[in-house]
Structure 1
Amino acid sequence: MHEAFSHITHRTAPLPDIPWIMAQTWSHVLFMHWPVNAVQLQRFLPEELTVDTYEGTAWIGLVTFQVQETKFRSLLPLQFLRPFPQLNIRTYVQHKGIPAVYFFSLDVTHLPSILGARTLYGLPFRKADMSFSSQTAYFFQSSCVTKEKREELDISYTPVSVGYIAEPGAFEHWTIERYALFTKRLNKLFLSCIHHTPWKLQEAKADIQFNTAASFLPRSLFIKEPIAHFADRKEAVFFPPQKA
């Protein structure tokens, strides 16, 4: 049994009764969140999903990290996969009482990940030019061209507090402690679950040099500094999608 299953009481969605199929290790994770009008955001979601809100406000999240390791169940890590950066644009939804994540896009440099995730999960992965480095701070750059639009993100970030586990009811618990995601393909809604131990978070400072990511939203939403959190490392296991 994977060591993550020694912690299950913290889950905010039911644990699937099917075997997990893949594990990934993420590092240097940055969560950035901005408030957005729930009605405005709802029109970008599949009709079956309802935008979730925290104290009446919906949130858009930009999450950057390094994928350090990928392995399939009962197999050794895929040694030919070097670490690669990833940028996820997401929001938070509810369906049949399950709090979950909905991804607008997931950008990576790694083509096999794009093909695999699109095929298995129906997730909107995109190919992007990206770079990541670590010095006195973490530096992340991404550029993705789609539908004649260029979405770019250029940031540096650093943790600024001691580590802690978010308490239920706190904003960071509501946004980050989610263990399900919904996708829609071929006019059918699917639920996919993940599992990992609770996030150990630190408050973070994000210095945004340039941001045209999430181009479907007004740029005025991103004028304010985001609420930012950092996590050093997390290993997660993935379950196959099921019809919701």
Structure 2
Amino acid sequence: MKIKEILQITNHRPWKMPAEEWKYYQEWNDAVFLHWQVEPAELREFVPPELEIDLYDDKAWVSVVAFTMQKIRPRNLPPFPPVSDFHEINIRTYVKNNNKTGVYFLSIEGGTGISCRVARTLSELPYRYSRMKRQECYYNSVNHKFGDRLEILYNIGGEISHKTGPDHWLTERYALFQETPTAINEFEIHHIPWPVYTIELTKTEVHYPRFSKLLKDAPHLAHYSPGVQVIAWDKIKTRRIARTGI
């Protein structure tokens, strides 16, 4: 689908798109979503105090999203595959800020070192390199420095034609909030609604020691999507309020 067509499909958005020109294009393809329901109090220590934890039926959620990033590029430049195409895993939760609902990343891993360095420099998102391997219906990632490991084997089921409840709440997010030492950065994004399919997990090993009390046992819910084309705007910075101890 052409970018002009994507920008004209807006009825599903919870708020209007930014008036400014978009800055980046990217594709999030072949995505596997693993979702855990968690207690808000357990999650609070991982989220900056400036951000409100978003709840569904009084529960917080944390998701592991494994996909393949492709064709990421600035507005007026073509993609450069050695940098623009790489596997990615993010661990995210759901937050509110400035009357908008969005996501917050607990962790972001990329499968190409140079792509992580470029993304970290341009976006200030906390990208780090992990060794990743991907085949049909299989995803594997290892990071020895942090002791992190992900291995999933799966079968794709039928399409969920009408997303409701958590299927919709967990996937349709059009803002990202991330902290730096001095600011909360807000990123606006746009894409058509995620096409979402059921998924059967035949092997699931999710080992992230830092988040062991959040990613317990098997996920409560899982989805698969062939992906979306994404338009992104430049970050907006809000200075953080200095907090001092009593």
Change (3 A) 1:219 1:231: same
2:187 counterpart (189, 192, 198): 192
1:13-92 equivalences under 5 Å are: 13-81=15-83, 83-92=85-94
- Structure 1 counterpart of 2:242: none
1:165 and 1:199 in contact (8 A); partners too: no
User: Which shows bigger deviation, 46-55 or 76-85?
Assistant: 76-85
Aligned length: 236
Shift of 1:96: 2.3
Report the TM-score, using the length of structure 2 for normalisation.
0.89
2:88 and 2:111 in contact (8 A); partners too: yes
Q: Does 1:157 align with 2:154?
A: yes
Change (3 A) 1:109 1:221: closer
- Structure 1 counterpart of 2:216: 222
Distance 1:47 1:175 in 2: 22
Distance 1:42 1:184 in 2: 15
Listed as ranges, the gaps of 5+ residues in structure 1 are none
- Structure 2 counterpart of 1:112: 114
2:176 and 2:186 in contact (8 A); partners too: yes
Write the deviation string for residues 154-178 of structure 1: whole angstroms up to 9, x where unpaired: 11122212342424xx112111100
Write the deviation string for residues 165-192 of structure 1: whole angstroms up to 9, x where unpaired: 424xx11211110010111113211111
- Structure 2 counterpart of 1:99: 101
Report the TM-score, using the length of structure 1 for normalisation.
0.89
The DSSP-based 3-state class of the residue aligned with 2:7 is: helix
Shift of 1:13: 4.3
Write the deviation string for residues 101-140 of structure 1: whole angstroms up to 9, x where unpaired: 0001111122232122222222111100000001xxx100
1:196 is aligned with what amino acid?
H
Shift of 1:81: 4.1
The DSSP-based 3-state class of the residue aligned with 1:130 is: strand
The DSSP-based 3-state class of the residue aligned with 1:65 is: strand
Matched-pair identity in %: 28
Distance 1:166 1:209 in 2: 24
User: Which shows bigger deviation, 112-121 or 42-51?
Assistant: 112-121
1:190 is aligned with what amino acid?
N
2:42 and 2:214 in contact (8 A); partners too: no
